[in-house]
Amino acid sequence: MVRRAARLGKRLALVVAGLVVFGVAVSALACWRTPPVVVGAMPDSSVRIDEVTRLHPVTMARVVTPRTIEDIVNAVKATAGPISIGGGRYSMGGQTATPDGTQLDMRQFHGVVALDTAAKTITVRSGTRWREVQEALDKVGLAVKIMQTYNTFTVGGALSVNAHGRYIGQGPLVRSVREVTLVLADGSVVVASPTLNPDLFYGAVGGYGALGVIALVTLDVAENTHVRRDDEKLPVSSYLDYFRKTVRDDSTVVFHNADIYPPAYENVHVVSYRKSTQPVTIPERMLPADQHAWSHRTAYEMITDWPKGKWMREHLIDPVIFRGNPVEWRNYEASYDVSELEPSSRSHDTFVLQEYFVPVDSIMAFMPRMRRVLQAHEVNAVNVSIRHALPDPGTYLAWAPNEVFAYVLYYKQRTDPESRREVARWTRELIDAAIASGGRYYLPYQPVATRAQFMAAYPRSAELFAVKQRVDSTGKFTNALWDLYRPSANGAMPAMTAQHLAANLPAEVRITLDSVKAYSRTEAREYLTHPEWDLVYGSEAYARWLEQGKRPSGFPYVKSVGTFWRSYGGTYDAAKDRYRVDMGTHVMLNVIGVSTAIEYGLKGLYENTLGRLTEWNMPAGGTAEDKYSAKVAREYATLIATKGWYEFGFMRAFKGLWSDVPLTGPGLLRKWERRFALSGEYLVKAAYASLIGLGTAAGYTPDELTRHVVAVGWSEPLDASIGGNAHFAKVRDLDRGYSLLSVGRYDPYRDALLALSDHADCVRIAEINGSELVTIAGTAPAEWRTPMRTSTVVAYRQPDDPARTRMLLRVQARDLLDVLRSLRAGGSFRVEHIYDY
Ligand X SMILES: Cc1cc2nc3c(=O)[nH]c(=O)nc-3n(C[C@H](O)[C@H](O)[C@H](O)COP(=O)(O)OP(=O)(O)OC[C@H]3O[C@@H](n4cnc5c(N)ncnc54)[C@H](O)[C@@H]3O)c2cc1C
Residue 126 near ligand X by CB under 6 A? yes
- Residue 95 interacts with ligand X (CB under 6 A)? yes
Choice from 23, 93, 157, 417 touching ligand X (CB under 6 A): 157
Q: How many CA atoms lie within 13 A of 377 on its CB side?
A: 23
d(CA 373, CA 778): 46
Q: Smallest gap, in angstroms, from Cβ of residue 160 to ligand X?
A: 3
Distance between CA atoms of residues 497 and 814, nearest Å: 12
* Spatial contact of 31 and 563, defined as CB atoms under 8 Å apart: no
Q: For strand 440-441 and strand 729-733, is the pairing parallel, antiparallel, or unpaired?
A: unpaired
Minimal CA–CA distance to 638: which of 544, 776, 529, 531? 544
C-beta pairs of 538-543 under 8 Å, 24+ apart in sequence: 538/563, 538/564, 538/596, 538/799, 539/633, 539/636, 539/637, 539/640, 540/637, 541/798, 541/799, 541/800, 541/801, 542/633, 542/637, 543/630, 543/633, 543/634, 543/636, 543/637
Kindly state whether residue 512 participates in binding ligand X, applying the rule CB under 6 A.
Answer: no
Considering only 214, 448, 541, 657, the residue that binds ligand X (CB under 6 A) is 214
The least CB distance from residue 61 to ligand X, in Å, is 16
96 belongs to the binding site for ligand X (CB under 6 A): yes
Least distance in Å: CB of 158 to ligand X?
5
Q: Within 13 Å, how many C-alpha atoms sit on residue 206's CB side?
A: 29
Instruction: Give CA–CA dist 586/220, Å, rounded.
Output: 60
Q: Does 106 bind ligand X (CB under 6 A)?
A: yes
Any bridge partners for residue 40, and if so which? 785
Binding mask 49-78 for ligand X (x = CB under 6 A): ---x--------------------------
Q: Which of residues 618-637 bind ligand X (CB under 6 A)?
A: none
CA distance 367 to 267: 12
Stretch near ligand X under the rule CB under 6 A, chosen from 156-164, 256-264, 584-592, 680-688: 156-164
| Shortest Å distance, C-beta 442 to ligand X | 7
Q: Report the SS3 class of residue 766.
A: strand
Q: Residue from 60, 161, 464, 807 that binds ligand X (CB under 6 A)? A: 161
In the bound state with ligand X, the residue whose beta carbon lies nearer, of 137 and 161, is: 161
Q: Show the binding pattern over residues 331-370: x = contacts ligand X (CB under 6 A), - = does not.
A: -------x--x-----------x-----------------
479 binds ligand X (CB under 6 A): yes
Among residues 23, 49, 90, 270, the one that binds ligand X under rule CB under 6 A: 90
Tell me whether residue 52 or residue 597 sits nearer to ligand X (CB atom).
Answer: 52
Determine the interface stretch with ligand X among 80-88, 110-118, 600-608, 683-691 (rule: CB under 6 A).
Answer: 80-88
206, 209, 770, 799: which one contacts ligand X (CB under 6 A)? 209
Q: Which of 713, 737, 717 is nearest to 727 (CA)?
A: 717
To ligand X, the closest distance from the beta carbon of 99 in angstroms equals: 15
Taking CB positions, which residue lies at the least distance from ligand X? 157
What CA–CA distance (Å, rounded) separates 545 from 553? 11
Stretch that binds ligand X, among 111-119, 161-169, 551-559, 702-710 (CB under 6 A): 161-169
352-375 burial by CB neighbour count: b if 16+ within 10 A, else e?
bbbbbbbbeebbebbbebbbebbe
Which run of H or of E encompasses 388?
Answer: strand 380-389
Q: Rounded CA gap, 243 and 560, in Å?
A: 71
Segment near ligand X (CB under 6 A), from 87-95, 131-139, 194-202, 819-827?
87-95
Determine, following the binding rule CB under 6 A, whether residue 163 of this chain makes contact with ligand X.
yes
Q: Which of residues 134-153 bind ligand X (CB under 6 A)?
A: 148-150, 153
By beta-carbon proximity to ligand X, the closer residue of 50 and 747 is 50
Of 130, 201, 202, 208, the one binding ligand X (CB under 6 A) is: 208
Decide: is 579 part of the binding site for ligand X (CB under 6 A). no
The Cα-based distances of 712 to 417, 505, 721 in angstroms read 20, 11, 17
- From the CB of 105, what's the least distance to ligand X, in Å? 9
Contact 335, 134 (CB under 8 A): yes
Specify the residue, 90 or 202, whose C-beta has the smaller distance to ligand X. 90
Task: Return the number of the residue (65 or 595) whose C-beta is nearest ligand X.
Answer: 65
Distance, in Å, from the CA atom of 42 to the CA atom of 196, rounded to the nearest integer, reads 51
- Toward ligand X, which CB reaches closer, 271 or 592? 271
102 binds ligand X, rule: CB under 6 A: no
Binding test (CB under 6 A) with ligand X, winner from 34, 121, 151, 160: 160
Burial classification of residue 100, based on how many CB atoms lie within 10 Å of its CB (0-12 exposed, 13-18 middle, 19 or more buried)? middle
Helix or strand run (H / E) with residue 425:
helix 417-436
- Whether the CB-CB separation of 168 and 405 falls below 8 Å is answered with no
Q: Which residues bind ligand X (CB under 6 A)?
A: 52, 84-91, 95-96, 106, 126, 148-150, 153-154, 156-158, 160-161, 163-165, 208-209, 213-214, 338, 341, 353, 444, 479
